[in-house]
């Protein structure tokens, strides 16, 4: 990482509490979370957005969303996010049922958003996506484009044992605050 961050063992106060929530829910505190340690409010907001996009009910399955995360991260050449979400997808034990053209569109939206047209939305509808599924796909693509730039802009390296932080589910809040 190219900037200073606060390691979980050195955290206190609000940041320590946030790390405990993330670690309990995700199996550890990944570099992408530690990179935001100097701004705990943003870290907390980022984590809530991530949970809302990836774990709340959606017409897109968890496998669909993880597969979109991988497609976007590969399109953006973000090895860190591709590895993390490839691991989460593998841990799900299932694959996405979205057709290949959805992933081609996702990569184009991630790399060259100015080239996306209304015809693309028509293609998504023809592929069986509902209005809500289209929205959730766009939100997932936009989020991972953001996350990819955060990772690459701060020079994050894939941490040893990263798979432990890639749980495909969020543990119940009553058990660990996640």
In a domain, 98, yes or no: yes
pLDDT score, position 172: 42
Considering the domain boundaries, does residue 117 fall inside one? yes
Query: What are 87-99's pLDDT values in tens digits?
Result: 999 989 899 999 9
At 54 the three-state DSSP class reads helix
- For residue 15, pLDDT beyond 80: yes
Sign of the CA dihedral with 78 first, then 30, 21, and 6 last: negative
- Res 68 pLDDT > 90: yes
Instruction: Provide the number of structural domains found in the chain.
Output: 1
How far is it, in rounded angstroms, from Cα 178 to Cα 176? 6
pLDDT per position as a tens digit, 110-150 = 999 999 999 999 999 999 999 999 999 999 999 999 999 99
pLDDT of 69 higher than 80: yes
Residue 36 lies in a domain: no
> For the CA atoms of the chain, what is the radius of gyration?
16
44 in any annotated domain: no
- 64 neighbors 96 (Cβ within 8 angstroms): yes
Mean pLDDT taken over the chain: 90
Could you list the residue range(s) of the whole structural domain that residue 74 is in? Answer: 58-169
CATH code at position 66: 1.20.1290.10
Is residue 79 a part of any domain in this protein? yes
pLDDT at 27: 76
Q: Distance (Å, rounded) from C-alpha 133 to C-alpha 161?
A: 33
Confidence of residue 171 (pLDDT cuts 50, 70, 90): low
pLDDT at residue 177 is higher than 50: no
Confidence bin at 164 (pLDDT 50/70/90): low
Confirm whether 2 is domain-assigned: no
pLDDT at 165: 73
Of the two residues 161 and 3, the one the predictor is more confident about is: 3
| pLDDT-based confidence at residue 176 (cuts at 50, 70, 90) | very low
Residues 6+ apart with CB under 8 A from 30: 84, 159, 162, 165
**Overall average pLDDT of the 43-60 stretch:** 93
Query: Does 26 map to a domain?
Result: no
- Domain assignment of residue 32, yes or no: no
What is the arithmetic mean of pLDDT over 42-71? 94
């Amino acid at each position: 990482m190219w900037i200073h961050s606060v390691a979980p063992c050195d955290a206190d106060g609000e940041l320590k509490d946030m790390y405990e929530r993330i670690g309990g829910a995700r199996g550890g505190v990944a570099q992408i979370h530690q990179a935001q340690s100097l701004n705990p409010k943003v870290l907390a907001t980022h984590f809530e957005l991530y949970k809302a996009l990836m774990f709340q009910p959606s017409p897109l399955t968890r496998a669909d969303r993880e597969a979109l995360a991988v497609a976007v991260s590969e399109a953006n050449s973000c090895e860190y996010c591709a590895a993390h979400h490839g691991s989460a997808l593998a841990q799900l034990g299932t694959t996405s049922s979205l057709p290949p053209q959805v992933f081609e569109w996702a990569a184009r939206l991630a790399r060259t958003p100015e080239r996306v047209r209304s015809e693309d939305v028509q293609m998504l509808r023809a592929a069986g996506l509902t209005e809500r599924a289209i929205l959730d796909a766009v939100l997932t693509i936009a989020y991972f484009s953001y996350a990819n730039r955060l990772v690459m802009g701060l020079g994050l390296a894939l941490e040893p044992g990263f798979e432990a932080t890639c749980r495909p589910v969020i543990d119940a809040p009553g058990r660990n605050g996640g």
